[in-house]
Chain A
Amino acid sequence: MPFYQKGDVKIYYEEAGSGFPLLVIPGGGLNSTVAGLKTHPFNPLDEFKDQYRVIAADLRNAKGGQSTGPLETGRPWDAYTDDHIGLMDHLGIKGFMVLGFCIGGPFIWNLLKRAGDRVVAAVPVQPSGYRHEMPELSYKNNMKSWGPELCERRPDITMAMVDTFLSNMYRGERADFVYTVSRDFVRQCRTPILILPDDVPGHPYAVALESAYLAPNAQVSLYPWKMSPIQIRIALRHVRAFLDNNRPAVAAQPLAVAAQ
């Protein structure tokens, strides 16, 4: 049962396979866990372990997960991104690729903003985004399905704190596009990106395509790609070719070596 710990933060993670590191960010909103990957259209731990060192973690404070830490109400997205980068540091990984479902989309953009020199390529899968016609969707969903249960098992956290946390995460100036970065950032991001779009309320197709249009090295999969097992296999062939093409020729450098 591996954990990465830093101060009050304790992050549960799992690894499979060997090769260039592929960080997998499960979907499920703020209840994103490794176990939840079993319910996803595909499980990258199984799919890519033959060629990659696949690493997935439970999101801090996710229901049903084993990761815990303070609720950093003033910096929700960055607190989670701290955990992703911290876990990579803990494992001695410098360069990596990242594949993220749903909320993994905004997390990927935040990783690119904060550690763009380490993220070699990225695959947002059915990425979350802001939908103008349902402006309170993410806030309300989490106030209902994440906040109360978290408060119940964590007496140090109140619904007022959850409200502040979610407001800073999804409302105000964050209520736009992919929540975590601006269109200008995406426009200038040279990192290869492959997007597998969706179009449920929390995963707007328009935002997925807009980010693909803006990012100068973006690609998009077929759409829809989840209607049948064969479509999923076709999308996975694209993902595999994309990862293989962008995998550095030299094996992942440990941090210590890279720092020299």
Chain B
Amino acid sequence: MAFYEKGDVKIYYEDTGGSSFPLLIIPGGGLNATIAYTRNTATAPFDATAEFKNEYRCIAFDLRNANGGQSSGPLEVDRPWESYTDDMLGLLDHLGIGEFMALGYCIGGPFIWNLLRRAGRRVVAAVPTQPSGFRPTQPTLFYDNNIKGWAPALCERRPDITMAQCDEFLRNMYTKRSDFVFTVSRDFVRDCQTPVLVLPDDVPAHPYAVAMESVYLAPNAQVSLYPWKDNPEKVQLAVRHVRTFLKANRPA
């Protein structure tokens, strides 16, 4: 049971350890993203830790205040994306890791772009997997999903957090950032030289158009086959692409 602690923040993580190059795995599941998401084939198309632990030091964690997870901390209403990114960078600092690669499911997509913006020199390569993004035809989707599917349970187990605070948190996270990948601009992506491999999806919260737009903009982007989750064979083809990509970008 490993925890990284900093002030009021306590982050549960799992680390396969070893001396191989670090791979940060950001689970999906929106604000309820936990390690359990990546281990369950009903939620994640593949378990990145199981796939890559023989080649990489895989580090996964529960998102701060995710329901069902073991990570907790204050609700930083004014800086939602930044507070989560603090936790990721803080965890890696705690583990003594400088450079790393990142693979993130769903909400891991916006987190990856924020990591690239804030710690671009440390992120050697990144794999947004079925990444989240803004869909103009459903502009309140993320706010609605989280105000219903995340906030009530959080308020129930955390008397210090109110629904009004959750409302403000989610407005700052999604409503006031309602464009593209939420966390960075198109100009940032256009200038980002870090190799990126995107595995697109096209459910309401994971718009294919945004995934492809980021691929077209990023000068060193690759993209997997699509669709890639309809059968186990395609998932394996995509995972082989990820393996090739990670290996090609792993420092010697």
Contact = CB atoms under 8 A, between A and B. Distances in A.
B240 to A, nearest CB: 5
Contacts of A223: 225-226
Contacts of B234: 213
A131 to B, nearest CB: 21
A222 B244 contact: no
A241 B245 contact: yes
B244 A234 contact: no
Of the four ranges (under 10, 10 to 19, 20 to 34, 35 or more), the interface on chain A belongs to 10 to 19
Most buried by B among A212, A218, A220, A245: A220
Interface in A218-248: 218-223, 230, 234, 237-238, 241-242, 244-245
B226 A219 contact: no
Contact of B237 (A218, A237, A241, A245): A218
Contacts of B216: 230, 234
Contact of B248 (A213, A218, A244): A244
Nearest to B233: A213
B221 interface: yes
Contacts of B222: 234, 237-238, 241
Contacts of A241: 222, 244-245, 248
Interface of A: 212-213, 217-223, 230, 234, 237-238, 241-242, 244-245
A109 B233 CA distance: 20
Contact of A234 (B223, B233, B247): B223
Contact of A245 (B221, B225, B233, B247): B247
Interface string B209-252: 00000011000111111100000011001001100110110000
Contacts of B241: 219-220, 238
- Top 7 closest pairs, chain A to chain B, by CB: A241-B248, A213-B233, A220-B225, A222-B223, A219-B240, A237-B222, A245-B244
A76 B90 CA distance: 64
A222 B221 contact: no
20 contacts: A212-B233, A212-B237, A213-B233, A219-B237, A219-B244, A220-B225, A220-B237, A220-B241, A221-B225, A222-B223, A223-B226, A230-B216, A234-B215, A234-B216, A237-B220, A237-B221, A238-B222, A241-B222, A241-B248, A245-B244
Of the four ranges (under 10, 10 to 19, 20 to 34, 35 or more), the interface on chain B belongs to 10 to 19
Nearest to A222: B223
A241 B223 CA distance: 12
B189 to A, nearest CB: 13
Contacts of B244: 219, 238, 241-242, 245
Nearest to A231: B216
Taking chain A's interface residues, is the majority helix, strand, or loop, or is none over half, making it mixed? helix
A218 B226 contact: no
A244 to B, nearest CB: 6
A242 B224 CA distance: 13
B221 A218 contact: no
Contacts of B237: 212-213, 218-220
Nearest to B237: A220
A221 B197 CA distance: 12
A26 B32 CA distance: 51
A192 to B, nearest CB: 8
Nearest to B241: A219
Contacts of A212: 233, 237
Most buried by A among B220, B224, B240: B240
A245 B248 contact: yes
Contacts of B247: 245
A68 B223 CA distance: 41
A244 B249 CA distance: 10
Given A213-B233, A217-B240, A234-B215, A222 B225 contact: yes
A76 to B, nearest CB: 31
